[in-house]
Structure 1
């Protein structure tokens, strides 16, 4: 969270340090009162919605940080996104690792149209759906504990009533039965309480992710939103696998007393009058009509069409789900590298790699559009 009041960024260019009163999330600039008024009147920026500087100062660093750096070469900006591996990387990683991948896009192209697409609302809806499921699990655990408490009290009274009927001869049997009851009660109650805590922690993580996603949707650039969605989908995958693995673990535990047929007959031959039975029943929570979370990579249709036509697609925001294994298709080989009569500098090599990337990506995107046109229209 930012704590120092910033100065106006446009005024800094004239060595004038004026106190900022607002911050524009589109321009990524702090504005003084004069610049803010001008910003709201200019045709190119009048639709921007600057935040009051007080709200800007309260924003977490994760939302204000828009520079994306390579995870391997941390000093280099992540300029590319590989749809094959679902990772961002710099020009060095592209040259050394991803130069043979089927489709490598620039980050601006990969994330273009993302905020206008239904993917963000779909992701937030999925978080809410999974959160609702966990709410039901927590509510079920609380009810189960209450039921165990009530049932324990009732069974304890029943057991004590039997003891009074059978007097001192049943002292030992009573103690054994109470011990069995308390052991089963303690074991299952502790297990249920542990599950309740785990579900609460998972819900809190999802709530935090939902809150952060909604904040980033309003003020973060699309590249940052693109990475946020990757984190959302990964968390949803992990949570869904976690919930699927609970089907045989989460049971509604009940305690009951099974009384022996001759329990009320006095005599030394009676060694046991009953036992504590644990009843674990499967709940309907896991039978909800909820589709499981699946892994997918987002590729903006407008990004693909722009690479092919050189313009912005009118259908920006349509997304292509890349699932594995893919159908076999013709893949055009990348063009051969240009002759190198002399050793290139690092900067020249970088520019050469970018040209190679755009040429190769065009051929691959053209093949994708020709062979998967129907699938793209259905998404």
Structure 2
């Protein structure tokens, strides 16, 4: 199955990061068919370059200014970025640098390419990319990582994917000293999907220290498996929650980590749909610039909450997500509590029903397909 991705080739060198299996290499092969390709998962090439990094420059010597080189899994030998820097500056070679982890790149000083290489992300497949193949129930059950979506046995591939993550990204790169502690941490963190982060509670359940949990959460983010969504400060004269929320990058992934596969249960569905919508917003952000910042808002005393507050050019857009198919006015509690926020351009309730309409006080109530349409047409902001 080949789907047209939202990602576009920039006119200059770029990093393209994303979880394993999201389709980075397939996309690069399609959009840069004439590029020189170097895959650092090729163990022979990897070993040769480790032994003699100067070989990298020799491999690039035949390229003319403006031609492309694709380097896959660049995080395996981040020291190659020194030569990438030289090739960009001295010879005008353009690079597509693909990777599944920002951890080693960050520690190696990716700032060597500051201003010389853009940063892009490949997300799991979105409804716009899947087109008629999209099915929300299937997406919530198995996720839309390209490798998994295309598999005949999605259960088996998802289970293997989690084992591969631990083996390749964590153990092989020595990301943690206590591998058994990290393995215990993963399903605990999966149960926190869509919830505010309580590191003390996670540490107790995983049997490690709180400081260790902070490091584990950073690893999840650096390997692009999860994101911590910060609290938005509306400053509306109410006490506001300040802890971030944890969301995994794909619903199938989080369900595989907590070993709960098959059709999504009613108890899971709310958090899964929230995480799914966050993934859509992040997926569409790069091509459409949907937001400069994104967070959630919650008032601690009234329990009013809004799942996502997007900020762009000093203005705001609030989105509440409900998985329920039946609309009722209580769903609007958080959006109405946020009505006095200065610069608030639009309030949207996206829910599991079929009707779309606008309330008397100006809240847009959308079905999930209506939300997909607004994103596809770049009409989220009024």
Q: In which range does the TM-score fall when normalised by the shorter chain?
A: under 0.3
Larger CA Rg, structure 1 vs 2: 1
Structure whose residues are more often helix by fraction: 1
Scaled by the length of structure 1, the TM-score of the pair is 0.26
Structure whose residues are more often strand by fraction: 2
**Higher-RCO chain (CA-CA 8 Å, sequence separation at least 6):** 1
